[in-house]
Amino acid sequence: MGTMSLSDFKEVRIPAPWGHISGRWYGNRKERPILAIHGWLDNLGTFDRLIPLLPDYIGVLCIDLPGHGRSARIQPGMHYAVNDYVLIIPRVMKEYGWSKVSLMGHSLGGIISFIYTSLAPHTVDMVISLDILLPWTPSPKTVIKTLAHSLEKHLVEEDRQEEGNLHEPPSYTLAQLNEVLAKGSYNSVTPEFAQHLLHRQVSKSQLYPDRFFFSRDGRVKYYSLTQMELGFSEALAKRIRRKPYLIIKGSRSNFVGVRTEKAVAILRHNNPHFEFYEVDGGTHHVHLHAAEECARYIVPFIRHHRPPALTSWSLSGKEQHLSAEEKRRQQERFFKRSTHAKSKL
């Protein structure tokens, strides 16, 4: 067994009524992978630095959400919303015939994972949440102001897209794109790591040969937030019960803080499979600029809750037989997990 290679992947294209969902399936493609979902305005490139640190025996399917990366946009006149994004998970499961799903999400992807797991906990076997748990819950005054702003900007963006054949979006040099992306993420994605996101969300300008523009759907900037009162979020958290749940927080990020304490306490209560870690100095994109530190917690979590089969899979395509002692330990672990699962029924 080893770790995954960022160059060993299969491009996937999952049909959808509005077009398709694009993705890359890294590592083992013979068994059910972890489904990885990126954050708002990002794409599957957000996992570029984490993928090579994960065990290759399980595989990771990274997808671009609709309107992001290379996935299709929804139809003109429609609006992006978090609750609609949640439906992406069962759509992917149906495509591959999965009855269970393992989830890894950052930011918006983590919110989507939380909501889906709370609604269909019987279909989820583990969740890895990167610097997020619940959606932002602003004051009513801020909510109204945000909705009014988004409504106006969404209509402006629709008009701009209707004229898209006549006018290109603003274009930039590659160096400028790095700075624009860093500024837009409040420097959570520094220029040093911007390339991991840019390679799937820019197109070459037809007017200026040395310039590029953002190719994602501009409407995603004004998507509908899920307003989640604390009582509601706590009720959702209670439905997750004893599911394996790992949260990694960046110490310099406030996305996991006071307002999530009760929900975290509920996930932690009487749950030996709940884990929470804080990465020192980490920002919101903690998995991108502190990938090694995140992997220290993610890899053991994966190995414990999605252990390798009695024979492991390697990138060379050859199966390596485990030693007798290793097989014995794996069988004991499987027996304990099975017994524990039966005791909860």
pLDDT > 90: percent of the chain: 70
pTM of the model: 0.86
Mean pLDDT, residues 230-254: 95
Is the pLDDT reported for residue 288 higher than 80? yes
Element (H, E) at 320: strand 320-321
CA-to-CA distance for 24 and 19, rounded, in angstroms?
A: 17
pLDDT of 311: 57
pLDDT of residue 193: 94
237 φ, ψ (degrees, to nearest 5): -60, -35
Instruction: Judge contact between 52 and 4, C-beta under 8 A.
Output: yes
Residue from 28, 31, 92 nearest 54 by CA: 28
The token pair at 318 is: 């050859």
Lowest mean per-residue pLDDT among 17-21, 51-55, 70-74, 75-79: 75-79
Q: In what order do the strands lie in the sheet with 19-26?
A: 9-16, 19-26, 60-63, 34-37, 101-106, 124-130, 245-250, 274-279
Report pLDDT digits (tens) over 111-143: 999 999 999 999 999 999 999 999 877 667 777
List of residues 6+ apart from 139 with CB closer than 8 A: none
9-138+225-306 belongs to CATH 3.40.50.1820: yes
Instruction: Please give the pLDDT value at position 138.
Output: 66
Tell me: the pLDDT tens digits for 313-345? 444 443 333 444 444 454 454 444 444 443 443
**Inter-CA distances, 195 with 47, 72, 150, 291, Å:** 12, 22, 28, 15
Percent of the chain with pLDDT over 70: 87
Residues 6+ apart with CB under 8 A from 35: 61, 63, 89, 92, 101, 102, 103, 104
Q: pLDDT band for position 93 (50/70/90)?
A: very high
58: confidence class by pLDDT, cuts 50, 70, 90: very high
Distances (CA, A) of 25 to 51, 61, 97, 186: 11, 4, 16, 30
Res 48: pLDDT: 97
Catalytic residue chosen out of the listed positions 71, 107, 118, 233: 107
Q: How far apart are CA 224 and CA 86, in angstroms?
A: 13
Q: What is the pLDDT of residue 340?
A: 46
The amino acid sitting at 214 is F
* Mean of the per-residue pLDDT values of the chain: 87
pLDDT at 339: 43
Contacts by 194-199, CB closer than 8 A, 24 or more apart? 196/45, 196/46, 196/48, 196/49, 196/288, 197/42, 197/43, 197/45, 197/46, 198/45, 198/174, 199/45
Is 205 a catalytic site residue? no
Please give the biggest Cα pair distance in the chain. 68
Q: Which residue has the higher pLDDT, 1 or 64?
A: 64
> Which neighbouring-strand residues pair with 329?
none
Asked if pLDDT for residue 15 goes beyond 90, the answer is yes
Residue 73, amino acid? R
CA 100 to centroid of chain Cα atoms: 17
